């Protein structure tokens, strides 16, 4: 017979895996620019490096803008991931190579996301992206 602690760990492990899958799906913007639309809460906001918030719909619209060409968007490392019964948090780094109106960018950006479980499914409820290049050694 499994203990409560074993069952709770299994649930958290499953929840962590679900959250990790959301992070990987988001990171794959060069393949799936509209991922956010079906994977966010109704009150989702993202805080851009400028400090200005943006909705999922507007962010996807930005990704689909012909002036923005995403060449690489890949997960480098998840630095921290925590999950509770109905909320979670993650901090991670993405490698992002893109051009906007012909200006090339090669970023190593840090992200933080807050997740909520809604009707048994994990959704992204909040996101913030750093600008520039992250020093990965600071995460140790």
85-132, pLDDT tens digit by residue?
A: 899 999 999 999 899 999 998 889 999 999 999 999 999 999 999 977
C-alpha Rg value of the chain to the nearest Å: 16
Give yes or no for a contact between 125 and 40, defined as CB atoms under 8 angstroms apart: yes
pLDDT at 80 > cutoff 90: yes
Instruction: List the domain boundaries for the chain.
Output: 4-134
Percent of the chain at pLDDT exceeding 70: 90
**Mean pLDDT across 56-66:** 92
33-48, pLDDT tens digit by residue?
A: 789 999 999 999 999 9
Q: How far is it, in rounded angstroms, from Cα 112 to Cα 91?
A: 4
Name residues whose C-beta falls within 8 Å of residue 117's C-beta, 6 or more positions apart in sequence: 15, 85, 86, 87, 88, 123
Q: How far is it, in rounded angstroms, from Cα 80 to Cα 86?
A: 17
Assign a CATH topology to domain 4-134: Nuclear Transport Factor 2; Chain: A, (3.10.450)
């Amino acid at each position: 017979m499994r203990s409560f602690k074993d069952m709770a760990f299994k649930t958290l492990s499953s929840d962590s895996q679900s959250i990790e899958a959301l992070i990987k799906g988001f990171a794959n913007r060069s393949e799936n620019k509209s991922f956010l639309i079906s994977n966010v809460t109704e009150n989702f906001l993202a805080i851009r490096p400028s400090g200005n918030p943006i909705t999922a719909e507007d962010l996807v619209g930005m990704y689909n803008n012909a002036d923005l060409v995403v060449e690489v968007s890949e997960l480098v490392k998840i630095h921290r991931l925590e999950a509770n019964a109905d909320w979670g948090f993650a901090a991670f780094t993405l490698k992002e190579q893109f051009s906007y109106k012909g200006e090339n960018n090669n970023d190593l950006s840090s992200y933080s996301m807050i997740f909520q479980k809604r009707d048994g499914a994990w959704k992204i409820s909040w996101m913030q992206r750093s600008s520039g290049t992250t020093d990965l050694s600071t995460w140790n």
